[in-house]
Structure 1
Amino acid sequence: MLAAMSTAALPPSSQATAVSRDRGDACPGSLRLHRADDGALARVRLPGGVLTTAQAEALADAAQRLGDGGLYLTSRGNVQVRGLADGCGAELAELLTAAGLLPSHGHERVRNIVASPLSGLDGHGLRDVRPWLTGLDALLCASETARELSGRFLFALDDGRGDVTGLDADVTLRATADGGALLALGPGDAAVRVTAGHAARAALVAAETFLDAVRESGTRSWRVAELGLPEPGLTHRLRSRLTAAGIAHDGRARDGGTADGPPPGIVGTALSVHVPLGRLSPPQWRELVRIAPAELRLTPWRGIVVPVPGASTDRLTDGLARLTATGLVGDPASPWPRVGACIGRPGCAKSHADVRLDAARGLEAAGRSGLPLYWSGCERRCGHPRGDRIDVVAGPDGRYHLSTTDAAGREPRSAVMDDPSRLAAALAAITS
C-alpha cells in the first residue's frame, strides 16, 4: 500500500527557540567510544578532512587490527572505526597518537573543521584555506576555553566558492575577493569582515563568544542555533570581543552557499571519487593510499579528493580508472552521490531496518528522482545532509515514511511505503 499526503511546513531556522540540553555531550570521539550493536565505535576528527598517506595507513591498520576493517566517512569529513572490541581503547589511542591524529587529548572532540576540499587545486577558489585550517586547529588545541565546546560544534573554512558555507556551521570563514574573510557566527545573515591574517584567530574568538553566551544563559546549548538569541545581539557580542582582541573588523552581509561537493571525476590537478554510503573497504583504502602522492582530503559529502599536483592527463585518467575498479564512484552521472544512509541494522539497535541494503536496492529508482534521498533507520535521522532532499525513514510499524525537506520552507509532501521495492511509486507520489 502507498499513501501520499501533505503536512504543515516546519518553521525556518530563524524562528528557532532556545534549546537546553538536559545531559552532557555524549558525542563519541577517539578517546570516548560509543557502544553500538556491532561493537564500540570511535570517531576520529580530521580537520579539513586532511590525512597524510602515513596517517591513512595508520587508520587502516587500526580498523583492521581492532575493528571490522572498514572505515566510515561522516557528514563532517571525519572517519569512524566500527566493530571495536571491548578493552581496545588504549591501543587505539596509542596508534592514533603515534600517527599525529591526536595532537591534544583534551581537544580531540572539538576539532570539527570542514574546509573547501578543492581549495588550491582547481583554480576556482579565491584563496587556499590551508593556512587558516592549520592555524585554527593549532589555536583550538592551545585554548583551554575551547575544551568546553561540544563535539557537535562546527567550523567551516570556505575558499570563496560557497561549498562549505552551505553546511550551517556554527562559525564560518569565507574568503572574499578583496583578500579578506567574512566571519559569521551561527546561521543568520550577519557577518563581519576581518583580514585574512587574522581569520583563524577571529574564528576562535567567535567560538569563545558562543561559550560566553552559553554561560550567561545558564543553558547547555551545544550549537549556536540552539541559543535562541536574536542575531543582532549575538553579532554585537562578537564585534565587542573582536575589538577586545585587537582584531579590526567591519559589518557585512553574509554570502549564501551551495552545500555542493566536488563532482566525481578529474577536477583540476586532483581525482575526486564518491564513496557509496560512506563505507570504505580495506582494498579501496589501500588503492587510495597507493595513488595519493602525499595526502587525501575527505569531504563532508562522503567523497575523497586525491591531490596529484603536476600529474599528466594520462596519469590522472589511469588513477581514476584504478579507483573506480575498486567500486568507488568516478562518474558524475552516477546516482550514488545523491543517495545516503545512516548505519541502520545490524549496527544500530535503534534502527528499524537495514536501510543501507534497501538504499542499494533502490538505487535505480533514486537515480530518476529530482531530489537526493537519505535513508534513516529511525526518526533521529543521524548524519542527514543539509538542503533539499527526500527523507526515507524506517518506522516501528515496519513501513518507510517518505517526506520532502525543502530549505526554502515550502510545504513538504509525504508518503508511506510498505515495501522498498515500491520506491519508484512512492517517489512519484510525492514529487509529481
Structure 2
Amino acid sequence: MPDTPLKQAHAPTVSPRPSACPGLWRIVSARDGGICRIKLPGGLLLADQADAVADAAERYASGVIEATNRANLQVRGIGNDHAGLIDTLLAAGLGPRDAASDDVRNLMLSPLAGHDPAMRLDVRPLAEQILDLLQGTPRFHQLSAKFAVQVDGGEGLAMLEHPHDLWLCALHLEQRSWLAFGLAGCPADGQVLGAVPLEQGPALVRAVLGRFLDLASPEQSRMRQLLASCAVETFVAGLEVPLRRDAAVLQWRRETAGSPWLGVVPQQHGTALGVAPPLGRLTPDMLRGAAHITRQWGDGSLRLTPWQSLMLTNIDPAGIEQAQRALSALGLLCHSHEPLARIVACTGASGCAKAHGETKADAVTLSALLRTGAPASVHLSGCSRSCAVAHVAPATLLARSPGRYDLYLRDARQPGFGALRATDLTLNEAGAMLALPTEHLDD
C-alpha cells in the first residue's frame, strides 16, 4: 500500500493574491501559454493523481508537464479553460484547504524520506505537522510564494545544496532526537544556529516564521533579504522557544549525501527505482506509464525529486528489469550514463520571453558532444534567473544570444554561477571544452 499522503482538501475559499509565481489557482502567462504549479506534499504523488495530471495536461493544455527543482509539477501551455483544469486537479486531491494556503506549501523532503537506509529519523510525521501549520495559520499566508522550508532526516539521498529560508536537520545527541536549524541556506554549508527536541519542531517553525513576519519589511520577502539588515544573532535572540546552543549543536555538521538518484536505489526495506524525464519534461504517456509501473511492481506512488526526476519506491526486485525496460521505452532516463542525464535546461525562448536561447533544443545537441560528466552536472540557462537549478551547478552555460553561450565553472570563491571560463561559445565549442577530462563534471 502507498504511504498516506499529507492531508489535503479541495474547495477554494478565497482568490489567490497577485504574484508572478505560478500556483494551482494562480495560472500565470508565458510565451507558450499558461503555467500551473502543483505543489506536492513532500513530493508525494499517488498513481491515480498522476493519471489525473496527465489527463488534465492533455485536455486543458499542450500536454507538457514539468518536474521542478523543488519536487513539484508544472503544467504548461494552458488554454482558456482555467477553471476546468483547476477543478480536475482539485478533484484528484492535488490542492490545499483553500487558495490562500497554496503559496506556503513549499516544504521539501528527501524523495526517500521514511525509506532511506541512512536516515536518522523518519521525518514524514513532522513534515505533516509543519504543513498543517503552514496551511492552517492565516498569518503565514502572508509569506512569499517562494518562501521555502526543508526538513532533512539525514538521508543518504538528499538535496543538500538548494537554499531554503528555513532548514531543519535531524540529529541524535545523548540518545535523544533533536532538530537543528539554520536560516537562508542549506544543510551542506549552512551554519547551525541551535536545536530543539524533536517534539518541539512545529513550535520552532512557528517561532521562526512569526519572527520573520514581525521584522521583515514589505520588500524583504525572503529570509536572506531580512538577514542583510538584521544580524542573525538578533533574529535568534528574539525567538520565543527554548534553544539548545552548546558546542555539540553549534559545531555539528551534516554528513555529505551520496546516494544515486537514477537507476536502482537501495531502500531500508526493498528497492527504489529512479527515473528522469529528459530535461525535466514529462509527456502524459510518461506519467501514466510510471503510474502503471508503480501500481504493478511498487507501492502505487511516485515521488518527485529536486533533480527533476521521479522515484518509484518499494519496487518488487523481481520486476526491476521489466520496469526499467518499460520506463525506458516511454523515453524516461533510467541510467546515469545516458547523455541527456548529464544536462539540466530551463524552458528556453520558445516558452519564456526572458530567455536568450532555445535551451531545451540546444541541450539535446550538446548532450551528443559530452563524453563524461555526472548526472545534472551541466546547466543551460536562458537568462541569469537560473529557473532550472536552485543551486550552482558544476558547469553553467548562460545564453547570450541564439546558439551562443558563456561558460561558467562552479567556484566557491566566486558569486553567481562561478568563474567565467569562456564567452560567446557555439555549442560545438562548448561541447569541446566540457568534454575535456576535468574534475568539475564529477562533483
Q: TM-score range by the shorter chain?
A: 0.7 to 0.9
Does the aligned pair in 2 maintain the 1:185–1:206 contact within 8 Å? Answer: no
Query: Is contact 1:391–1:402 with CA below 8 Å preserved after alignment?
Result: yes
Q: Work out whether 1:379 is the aligned partner of 2:384.
A: yes
Which of the numbers 85, 91, 94 marks the counterpart of 1:98?
91
Q: How far apart are residue 202 of structure 1 and its match?
A: 2.1
Shift of the 35–368 alpha-carbon distance from structure 1 to 2, 3 Å rule, reads same
C-alpha deviations, 1:106-129, integer Å up to 9, x for none?
111210111011122231111112
**Structure 1 residues 333 and 255: CA distance shift in structure 2, 3 A:** same
- CA gap of 1:72–1:261, structure 2 versus 1, over 3 A, is farther
Rounded to whole Å, the distance in 1 between the matches of 2:380 and 2:286 is 24
Point out the more displaced range, 27-36 or 181-190.
181-190
| Cα separation, partners in 2 of 1:122 and 1:431, compared to 1, 3 Å | closer
Aligned to 2:303: 297
Confirm whether residue 175 of structure 1 aligns to residue 182 of structure 2. no
| Amino-acid identity (%) | 32
Quickly say closer, same or farther: Cα 1:42–1:261, change in 2 above 3 A: farther
Count residues with an aligned counterpart.
398
Note closer, same or farther for the CA distance 1:366–1:110 as it changes in structure 2 (3 Å cut).
farther
Give yes or no for contact 2:378–2:394 (8 Å, CA) kept in 1.
yes
Aligned to 1:11: none
**CA gap 1:328/1:283 in 2 versus in 1, 3 angstroms:** same
Which AA in structure 1 matches 2:423?
A: V
Secondary structure (helix, strand or coil) at the match of 2:241 reads helix
What is the aligned partner in structure 2 of residue 9 from structure 1? none
Structure 2 unaligned residues grouped into runs of 5+:
1-16
User: 1:285 aligns to what?
Assistant: 287
| Cα-to-partner distance string for 1:148-189 (whole Å, 9 max, x where unaligned) | 111111111111137234321111111113422212222241
TM-score (norm 2): 0.83
Contiguous gaps of at least 5 residues in structure 1: 1-22
Which residue in the other structure is 2:8 paired with?
none
Deviates more, 1:393-402 or 1:266-275: 393-402
- Whether 2:430 is the aligned partner of 1:412: answer no
The 5 A counterparts of 1:163-242 are 163-177=158-172, 178-187=176-185, 188-214=190-216, 218-227=217-226, 228=228, 229-237=230-238, 240-242=239-241
CA distance in 2, matches of 1:24, 1:316: 45
State the 1:285 CA deviation: 0.7
Query: 1:292-342: per-residue Cα shift (whole Å, max 9, x none)?
Result: 132111001111111126x2x222232222212212122133343431010
Alignment partner for residue 322 of structure 2, among 318, 323, 336? 318
C-alpha deviation, 1:95, in angstroms: 1.5
Deviation of residue 220 (structure 1)? 1.6
Per-residue deviation, 1:192: 1.9
Residue from 360, 363, 369 that aligns with 1:365: 369
In the alignment, structure 1 residue 421 sits paired with structure 2 residue 428? yes
* Partner Cα separation in structure 1 for residue 48 and residue 202 of structure 2: 26
Amino acid paired to 1:58: A
Residue 69 of structure 2 is aligned to residue 75 of structure 1: yes
**Aligned equivalents of 2:279 and 2:19: distance in 1?**
26
User: Paired residue for 1:344?
Assistant: 348
Q: Say if 2:31 is the partner of 1:37.
A: yes
| Deviations 1:249-272, CA, capped at 9 Å, x for gaps | 445225246576742112122111
Query: What is aligned with 1:53?
Result: 47
The alignment's C-alpha RMSD in Å is: 2.6
Q: Which region of structure 1 is more displaced relative to structure 2, 105-114 or 174-183?
A: 174-183
Aligned residue identity for 1:95? T
Q: TM-score, normalised by structure 1?
A: 0.85
CA separation in 2, counterparts of 1:63 and 1:382?
21
Residues in 2 aligned to 1:172 and 1:257: alpha-carbon distance in whole angstroms? 15
User: Aligned partner of 2:51: which letter?
Assistant: E
